[in-house]
Structure 1
Amino acid sequence: MQQRIFGTTRSQIFLGFSAAMLLVLALTFSLSYVSVSRVLERNAGLYAEEIAGQINGRLDAMLEQVDMLTLELVSDSRVQRLLWNEKLGRPATEQEQLGEIRPMLVHTASFSRLIRTIDLYSTRRALYPLGNGTLQEQVDEDWIRLADESSGRFVWIGQKPGEPDTLLGIRQIRLEKDDYKGGGYIVVAVSAALLDFVEGTVAQMEGSSVFILDQKDDILSSRQHAGMKVSGEELARPGGKLHVAGQTYAKVSLAEELTGWTVVVLLPQDKITEGVSVLQSALLAACAAGLVLFLLGAYVLSTLITGPLRKLTRVMRKARSGEFAPNPETYANREINDLNLTYNRMIDSLHTLIDEVYREQIVRMQSELRALHAQLDPHFLFNTLEAFYWQLIENGQDRQAAHVLRLADLFRYAIRREGERDFVPLEAELAHVANYLQLMEMRLGERLAWSLSLPEELKAVEVPKLLVQPIVENAVVHGLEKSIRPVRIRVEALRGPDGVAVVVRDDGAGMDADRLERVRSRLAGLRDAPGADAERSGIGLTHVHRMLRMYYGPEYGAEIASRPDQGTSVILKLPEPGKGKEEGRG
């Protein structure tokens, strides 16, 4: 009796759909609850970022005025002249300090209501105000060093020691007559009233707070609700959450590029998620109603499915007798109709298989013909380069002519002609590399230095053509062009206990551990995934590694080692001469 009730298709569909619906509703409830909670937190974070962005915008607008005024001052010809004389050992007189420097600084400060004072220092002493001592006595050495490293940009220090209502900034003065080397400094004292607008930045969410921190994480200004006590060190800690006095806050930090200060906005977590409880009740009610409706629908649906299933089963059984004919009937039930369409597609696939194979052969032949037509006549290329060569010789441009000749040799070596052998002496391969490096040296100048080393006994060793040059090209492109300093590339052939090795080293940019691991993974996976996509930076290495394994076996190939800013080393492992090569090298 139990098997009769639960063994029917209708009852199994009904029970299966009901169980699936319970699972779906449970997952929907959980995911909706979590998703909406995250949306609320994300919106609160965007709101906090908007507040921080508005504060940054207002700071930029006010501080940019100070930046522009001081930039004009340090470029003033009078300031440049006085500091140049100081550097030459001709110090300014007291009359010049009071009669020329003082009016100039006072005049500049008068253009901004924020600037209180501007002090001028040479590298040895204070030029104004008089008797102010050296700059090191007024400003910490770290800030002076930062001003030197900032290439003449204005550096905001923060609150002046002992005067919390005053902010300090410093700018190095670079002398035009001394190739823009440092010749002095200006120190600007600005009223901290420029940060008073933060007091009026009131977030609409109850309990929210806003802070501005300087580079040392000291609080310059804040707008915080009553009862909150938090230090700048706590606000500067990484992370999106902050716990203060038993309360959890969502924290958003935004750095201000001009000053290096940080705007921190705190939003109370309980205010962000206070609407979630209402959402929970609504989701439970919706899930209960959906479950009832689905049970009714599942019962009706299971009844409607069984009839079309029996009809389709009869049609499909005809295939047993070899009648591979499509079923033209269309069913109202989408799943049954999809099943019928799949059956019809299978029949169509059987009838069109031969036609598809034929079309693929036609496409392949057409592709080969197009590739043949697209080939460049090498004689035309070499004749053109030869014409350039003789024209340069006639014009007396011997060096450029030599470069054209090297380029012709480079192309002649790289273009494979019919009947040409796949293997060449190692001496010829390294001569091709030398041509390439000489052309690169012409383009890159003193940024590139290189050397080749080939023992006499290894010159006749035969290697696959174009084995070394792709690795050297990688060293130029990824080692040298990504480095800001000159790079040396060394190519060396060695004989070891297990065979011959060609080593390509550079002291350029190198690569980090993650990227190195990806390159090594591609090399190790060539056997299992020979067609796997590769990063552009690894195409040449991957091709060379595959070629060595194909010719010599899996124990040979390429190995790579690299460190950031220390360079990259690639070792090409080959067998002893005459051992392990493929027959019929052509």
Structure 2
Amino acid sequence: MMTLIVIVSVLYYRKTTDIIHTKISDMAEKNISQTVGLFDLLLEGYDSVTKSLNSNYELLRLLEEREKVTDPVLSVINERSITNILGAVYYSRDDIVGIHIITSSGKLYNYEKRYAGVFDLNYKKTDWYAQLQASTGEMVWLGLYNGSVINSLQEERVFVFGRALYDLTTYKKIGIMFIETNPKPILSALSNVTISPNSQVYIVDRQDRVIASTGSEDAAMPSFNGLPRPAQKEVVVDDGTDQLIVSAKAALADWTVFGMTPKADIGSELKDTRQYLLVVIAVLIGLSVAIASLVSRTIASPLKLLIREMKQVELGNFKGGVNVKSFDEINSLVASFNRMVHRMDELIEGITLASISEKNAELQALQSQVNPHFLYNTLDMIYWMLDERENDRLGRVILSLSHMFRYSSDWQEASRTTLRQELDQMRHYMTIIESRLEGRVTTEIQVEDRWLDAVMPKMTLQPIIENAVKSGLEPLGRPGKLRVYTEVDAGELRIVVEDDGVGMDEQTLAFLQHSLLGGRIVRTEGEGPASASDTTEGWREAAAGAAGAHGPSAVGGGIQPAAQRRKGIGLPNVHRRIAIMYGDQYGLRIDSKRGEGTTVIVVMPR
């Protein structure tokens, strides 16, 4: 029913639109015909004014005599007589702004509304002067100007036309004459062509030069190239573009009048019809909906409830149910759906509990891999320090070692800690390392105070620092620097651990990055199944074998076999604990260049 209503309404609307467009086109055609007729009458009046001056024997005689008179008194009398003749013509019409005559010898006579006697000395270089000089007695319609063409002080808009002056006896050219008139009659006539507020009317000559228009001075002029140019007493209507264009030609001047109206404005005339049609459609649609609802309530409503509940199941909500009273077939379908959803909820709950238990077990397994690898080196160092009786240094080292064991043995609160506590742990570790390496490693920490309470997995920084020291800084033959700082980008908090050690080659770096991204577990030859921490040792072995990028793990100065080393919390271990806590998009990012150092970035949410 609604489809039929829409189809009928569209057809009715199209028919109404066609009728209105036809009437508007007819109206525009009549308007432009009347406007062209007004132009012809107006131009005939202007033409008669110029002819009256050109045929004024007394004026022509005075102009020629003044060229020859040498008596100053007689010259002044002749000039006044010429001015009186021009004044008589000036006051014969209300729309004349100024009358100007320029003789062939360059003398200027004028009669104008104000600023008489002021003229532009460079008039001979202007386009309008060239047109009048090139004419042979016919009327020259110069068009609309924003001010007087000869008097720069006259800034009012004027319509200018003129012709050459000839001696009627000898047919000798005496000079040129041009008249400036008020453009309001022409603009008023142009306004008759407009059929909407956005309509624009232009008078264009044969060279597509705009003589006058209803548009503003700053408005861009359209291109008239290719537009239809009608013959005399012909009106052309073109609606093939986004505008309705009507054009007609003036009889006395080689002008074409173009009226351009956007079709969007024409559509506004259909507003009342469209509103009435929309009201009728809305009423009919309302009745159709009411009837359809009444007929389909006993079948459609239960099915809608069932579909809505199925969408909830798609979104993961298995707690709902559907209760309807309808035909037996629909009731049976709903009951089967409810049983299926209940069973799925039980299965998902069991799987969820199993997954949580598995993750808890995995987390506990990962957390249990605390690496006291540095303990042996520390104990060995304490032995030699006791031997050398360096009691002050020994006290600091033992105190730092005490804090580290106390921190690493406390795994309460799901192994969560803050960045502040991790940095304290790092400082204790670096106290031991700096004492052992005797000034070969310096540490710089630049962490903003606002991030010190950021929550993170325990033992996150210590494995990274340990790898940086042992694999990057210890093998250096010069003092090294370890820098820790924070930065924020795109909603991420990044803790950057940067060293200027020996770095890694591309093969070792790719190996380590792949183990982080893919979660691969690496196994060295001769060992059993590898744990997550083995990746770190595998990186060290690969770096040592490929490029010598790390130092030995020494106990008493000797190199220990890989099988004898205690495994620590490796970088993949740290990466996975961060991912478990915050999500897979967070974790570690590693970059390194051989001979320049290594950068490890801990990425967490802000």
* TM-score class normalised by the smaller sequence: 0.3 to 0.5
- Choose 1 or 2 for highest CA Rg: 2
Q: Normalising by structure 2, report the TM-score.
A: 0.33
Q: Give the TM-score taking structure 1 as reference length.
A: 0.34
